[in-house]
Amino acid sequence: MTTQTEVKPRNPYWQLWRSTPKELLYLMLGFPIAMTGFGVALSLVATGLGTLAVFLIGLFVLILALYVSRGFGLVHVNLLEWTGRRRLERPDWQDDRAATGFGGWLSAVLGNAHYWLYLLHTTVLGFILTIITWAISFVWLVVGLTGVSAWFIRNEITTGDPGWSLGAWFFGLFGVNTTTWNLEVADNIVASIVGLIFIATLPFVTRGLVMTQWWLARGTLTAFRSDGLRREVESLEASRGAALSAEGHSLRRLERDIHDGPQQRLVRLQMDLAAAERQLDTNPELARKLLTEAQSQSSEALEELRALSRGFAPPLLLDRGLVAALESVSSRATVPTTLTAQLPEPLLLPSEIERASYFVVAELVTNVAKHSQATHAEVLLSVESVPERDWLSVRVIDDGRGGAEVAPDHGLAGIEERVRGVGGRLEIDSPAGGPTVVTALLPLPKQSADRGAVAL
């Protein structure tokens, strides 16, 4: 018999209180940080404009002001996220362009709108809003603490006018006659009520002020949509270059394999047939022997051509899918290899992803046999989900000696090029002494992912 424990719903008000200390600390720290940033950045801007005509010294001072604003803006964004607010996407600072030379550096800084928005935030928008939010939060906190501690820090609330009483004024608003009251007690009662109200509403105030800062930061300190497009274009260009490189490498390897394998056997076959033809009348026994060898050469050449054809599109992969093709690779491996597939069903994989996965596993299993000195290997297939997209994870693990790394013109370099060619990435964890874990993450189209994964 099973029993169910009733889960009590969380109180939203107390949930607000959990983040109030961080929000209050952020609002208090924001004032000195904003004042410092305002003073430094504005001084640099004024100095830069004043010396702009002196050997362009002012230009470099202005650029320094932009870098200072960038630093203070990022501090502001990090503090906002520290309070628990949703993460803000960082701008594209074009640091890669800045590293190309002096002209690229000037273009990446002066021509980047993010630097100027950060300067505007540091010297005007963020500075003004920080003063306002700091003043409101400070006054709210002081009034609340003063009110609830009125019984302990003083006997009455005064304004300098001995004839005025907070309690008499407050209760007088409701038509209550307080002439016979102890006004000191009445003052403290009213002050306590006001203090409790201010303390009770403090989470709402801090949350509202922090969210105001967050919305301003979102409008001025975050990435543009064009930043994402630029990164996507760069990624596509890199993937295209990697694909072309991988294709060229594959073609060169195929040419070498054909030259060293089937071509040599076909030459030998031609020579054997020619020799058999010459001996056919004079020495039938030798001719028969040569024909037998020629038949063996033709069979071996055919097998090699079939093996090479798998480098383009393995028939088993086309007919029965990725899992069946990898089961075949695992069963043929020199090192005992097991395959574990945990994929959603149905999962429709693009043909280029299937081919890349097949060749990655085939190459890695071959590398395990050649270099790792392993006694066992395992191939794992799964789908990893992240907020942006889903990835097909192809992981090969062996218990060998470790120390695997990407080196030019070696197997892992070719695998990395192939993975990058379809927009994926390769991760290698191979400490000395093993084990070695090589993971290829290949991008999946959104419509192919089904989150209800089952083991195949």
Please give, one letter per residue, the 3-state secondary structure of 114-145.
HHHHHHHHHHHHHHHHHHHHHHHHHHHHHHHH
Average pLDDT over residues 335-347: 82
Is the confidence at residue 167, as pLDDT, over 90?
no
- Output the six-digit token pair for 44: 């640099």
Amino acid identity of residue 186, one-letter, is: A
Cα 434 to Cα 68: distance, rounded to the nearest angstrom: 46
- Output the six-digit token pair for 336: 């005992």
What is the pLDDT, as a whole number, of residue 449?
A: 44
Question: What's the chain's average pLDDT?
Answer: 78
The rounded Cα 43 to chain-centroid distance in angstroms is 37
Question: Do residues 439 and 394 touch, judged by C-beta distance below 8 A?
Answer: yes
pLDDT tier, 452 (very low <50, low <70, confident <90, very high otherwise): very low
Tell me the pLDDT tens digit for each residue of 395-433: 999 888 888 877 766 667 778 877 887 778 888 888 888
Tell me the pLDDT tens digit for each residue of 67-81: 999 999 999 999 999
Residue with tokens 């028969």: 288
CATH homologous superfamily of 315-455: Histidine kinase-like ATPase, C-terminal domain (3.30.565.10)
For the beta sheet containing 390-398, the strands, ordered from the edge strand earlier in sequence to the opposite edge, are 425-429, 436-444, 390-398, 377-385, 337-344, 453-455
The more confidently predicted of residues 240 and 96 is: 96
Question: Do residues 144 and 195 touch, judged by C-beta distance below 8 A?
Answer: yes
Cα 169 to Cα 36: distance, rounded to the nearest angstrom: 43
State the Rg of the chain over Cα.
Answer: 37
The more confidently predicted of residues 198 and 329 is: 198
Pseudo-torsion of CA 83, 86, 91, 95, nearest 10°? 60
Tell me the pLDDT tens digit for each residue of 227-285: 556 566 666 666 565 555 656 666 666 665 565 556 656 766 777 778 777 777 788 78
Question: Packing angle between helix 12-50 and helix 126-148, nearest 10 degrees?
Answer: 140
Cα–Cα distance list, 422 to 239, 277, 443 (Å): 6, 52, 8
Q: Which own/partner contact pairs does 14-18 have at CB distance under 8 Å and 24+ positions apart?
A: 16/203, 16/204, 16/207, 17/203
How much is the pTM?
0.52
Amino acid identity of residue 261, one-letter, is: G
Least confident piece of the model among 16-30, 129-143, 259-273, 371-385: 259-273
Residue with tokens 């924001």: 30
Cα 152 to Cα 189: distance, rounded to the nearest angstrom: 12
What is the pLDDT, as a whole number, of residue 184?
A: 67
Question: Do residues 254 and 307 touch, judged by C-beta distance below 8 A?
Answer: no
- A 10 A CB-CB count for 377 gives 26
Cα 25 to Cα 134: distance, rounded to the nearest angstrom: 10
Report which listed range, 123-127, 188-192, 226-230, 236-240, is most confident.
123-127
pLDDT tier, 90 (very low <50, low <70, confident <90, very high otherwise): confident
What is the pLDDT, as a whole number, of residue 207?
A: 92
Residue-range domain boundaries for the chain: 11-223, 261-309, 315-455
Report which listed range, 121-135, 341-355, 415-429, is most confident.
121-135
pLDDT tier, 450 (very low <50, low <70, confident <90, very high otherwise): very low
pLDDT tier, 2 (very low <50, low <70, confident <90, very high otherwise): very low
Pairing assessment for the beta strands 377-385 and 425-429 based on DSSP bridges? unpaired
- A 10 A CB-CB count for 190 gives 20
Q: Which own/partner contact pairs does 234-240 have at CB distance under 8 Å and 24+ positions apart?
A: 235/423, 236/423, 238/420, 239/420, 239/421, 239/422, 239/423, 240/421
Average pLDDT over residues 32-44: 92
pLDDT tier, 92 (very low <50, low <70, confident <90, very high otherwise): confident
Cα 242 to Cα 236: distance, rounded to the nearest angstrom: 10
